[in-house]
């Protein structure tokens, strides 16, 4: 019953078809993860070494062949060590799409409408305006479907009502909580402050962007969170999502984009090259 078609002596069944599809899907996900990252260059390096190894074997250069053979002999383990970051990102992605585990699967169905976010956007926009005018740096992560518990636990747990005054107090330069990121949960409450985010290793991020912006981009590469950044240097307001950052937003743009992004049905972050969009003034 499972028999699909026959190629020469090979019986191709539905199960084989499913197997091929699953492997293709996994390779595609891994490719999306690596695309635009430094890991692609490492992969090229390994491919070059592999070609060199073949050539060395053909030319029967024993000493060099032995040295390269040692490297390829530990194959899978070496790969896991070299691509530790990428394997981690991949597992985080797999872990976050717990298909039927929560509302997210049902929310992703095409006929389901966008949900209104519980975040007090007014408070956020007003806080951004005040922080920007006083050149106070800020980093605020808005969780969407991904549970940000892992990152929240790197900081101080708060579980507080989101308000303009609270955000201004946290990011005040003299506050013990001002360093790192604030995480706002799906409930609209401030979950934690002083959180450490993963820093993006994307080589295409402009050198002008420091760690605050890099970590905003970094966390949106591995989760579907939306991140608001206020630059301490320029007062510029930016929003990062899916590894992309929109810089120099007006308050109206910030309100519109934040409202839209937080209501949107989420999809897996594409892991593509960073795109920096600076709004024209």
Decide: is 276 part of the binding site for ligand ATP (CB under 6 A): no
Nearest distance from C-beta of residue 235 to ligand ATP, angstroms = 9
- Which part of the chain contacts ligand ATP (CB under 6 A), choosing from 52-60, 68-76, 98-106, 231-239? 231-239
Among 231, 238, 242, 247, binds ligand ATP (CB under 6 A): 231
Nearest distance from C-beta of residue 156 to ligand ATP, angstroms = 13
Q: Which sign, positive or negative, has the C-alpha torsion 55, 57, 58, 59?
A: positive
Residue nearest ligand ATP, Cβ-based: 210
Angstrom distances, CA of residue 136 to CA of 97, 127, 236: 35, 11, 10
Nearest distance from C-beta of residue 239 to ligand ATP, angstroms = 14
| Residues 22-41 as x/- pattern, contact with ligand ATP by CB under 6 A | --------------------
Decide: is 212 part of the binding site for ligand ATP (CB under 6 A): yes
Nearest distance from C-beta of residue 214 to ligand ATP, angstroms = 6
Nearest distance from C-beta of residue 107 to ligand ATP, angstroms = 28
Check if the beta carbon of residue 273 is closer than 8 Å to that of residue 204: yes
- Strand segments, DSSP code E, in the chain are 3-7, 10-13, 138-142, 156-161, 181-184, 189-195, 226-230, 237-241, 244-247, 275-278
How far apart, in whole angstroms, are the C-alpha atoms of residue 127 and residue 186? 19
- Which residue lies nearer to ligand ATP by CB, 68 or 152? 152
Contacts of 160 (CB under 8 A, 6+ apart): 166, 189, 190
| Residues 80-119 as x/- pattern, contact with ligand ATP by CB under 6 A | ----------------------------------------
- Which part of the chain contacts ligand ATP (CB under 6 A), choosing from 22-30, 71-79, 102-110, 179-187? 179-187
Decide: is 213 part of the binding site for ligand ATP (CB under 6 A): yes
Contacts of 132 (CB under 8 A, 6+ apart): 230, 235, 236, 237
- Pairing, β 3-7 against β 138-142: unpaired
Q: Which sign, positive or negative, has the C-alpha torsion 231, 234, 240, 244?
A: negative
How far apart, in whole angstroms, are the C-alpha atoms of residue 211 and residue 218? 10
Decide: is 180 part of the binding site for ligand ATP (CB under 6 A): yes
Decide: is 269 part of the binding site for ligand ATP (CB under 6 A): no
Decide: is 223 part of the binding site for ligand ATP (CB under 6 A): no
Check if the beta carbon of residue 142 is closer than 8 Å to that of residue 179: no
Q: Is 230 exposed, middle or buried (0-12, 13-18, 19+ CB in 10 A)?
A: buried
- Which residue lies nearer to ligand ATP by CB, 136 or 186? 136
Beta bridge partners of 161: 189
Nearest distance from C-beta of residue 271 to ligand ATP, angstroms = 19
Which stretches of the chain bind ligand ATP, using CB under 6 A?
A: 137, 139, 179-181, 196-197, 199, 209-213, 215, 231-233
């Amino acid at each position: 019953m499972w028999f699909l078609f026959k190629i020469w002596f090979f019986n191709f069944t539905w199960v084989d078809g499913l197997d091929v599809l699953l492997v293709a899907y996994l390779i595609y996900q891994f490719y999306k993860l690596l695309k635009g990252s430094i890991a692609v260059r490492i992969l090229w390096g390994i491919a070059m070494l592999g070609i060199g190894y073949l050539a060395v074997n053909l030319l029967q250069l024993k000493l060099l062949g032995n040295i390269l053979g040692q490297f390829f002999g530990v194959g899978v383990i070496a790969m896991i060590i070299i691509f530790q970051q990428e394997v981690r990102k991949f597992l985080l992605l797999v872990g976050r799409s717990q298909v039927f585990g929560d509302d997210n699967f049902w929310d992703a169905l095409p006929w389901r409408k966008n949900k209104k976010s519980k975040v007090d956007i007014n408070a956020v926009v007003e806080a951004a305006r005040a922080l920007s005018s006083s050149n106070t740096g800020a980093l605020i992560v808005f969780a969407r479907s991904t549970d940000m518990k892992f990152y929240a636990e790197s900081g101080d747990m708060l579980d507080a009502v989101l308000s303009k005054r609270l955000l201004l107090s946290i990011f005040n330069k003299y506050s013990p909580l001002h360093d790192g990121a604030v995480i706002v949960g799906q409930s609209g409450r401030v979950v934690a402050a002083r959180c450490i985010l993963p820093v993006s290793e994307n080589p295409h991020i402009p050198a002008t962007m420091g760690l605050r912006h890099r970590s905003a981009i970094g966390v949106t590469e591995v989760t579907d969170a939306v991140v608001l950044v206020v630059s301490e240097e320029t007062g510029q307001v930016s929003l990062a999502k899916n590894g992309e950052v929109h810089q120099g937003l007006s308050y109206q743009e910030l309100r519109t984009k934040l409202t839209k992004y937080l209501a949107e049905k989420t999809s897996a972050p594409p892991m593509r090259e960073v795109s920096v969009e600076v709004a024209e003034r």
